[in-house]
């Protein structure tokens, strides 16, 4: 049960980070958008390899 909740939580955070990155990219704040994409990528990696 906890494993499923943790996996769903990380998926939700990834979606939120992608949304934030798209908004930041549209506003021209490319450095922060890149960091958001990087954070989402790291979470996807952890999600697939460890959770």
Residue 7's contacts (CB-CB under 8 Å, 6 or more residues apart) are 47, 51
User: If you write DSSP's letter for every residue of the chain in order, what string do you get?
Assistant: -HHHHHHHHHHHHHHHHHHHHHHHHHTT-HHHHHHHHHHHHHHHHHHHHT-
Give this prediction's pTM: 0.85
For residue range 1-51, what is the model confidence (pLDDT) as tens digits?
Answer: 668 888 899 999 999 999 999 999 999 999 999 999 999 999 999 888 876
pLDDT for res 50: 79
């Amino acid at each position: 049960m906890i494993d499923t909740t943790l996996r769903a939580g990380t998926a939700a955070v990834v979606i939120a980070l992608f949304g934030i990155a798209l908004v930041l990219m549209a506003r021209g704040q490319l450095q922060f958008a890149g960091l958001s994409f990087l954070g989402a990528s790291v979470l996807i990696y952890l999600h697939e390899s460890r959770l």
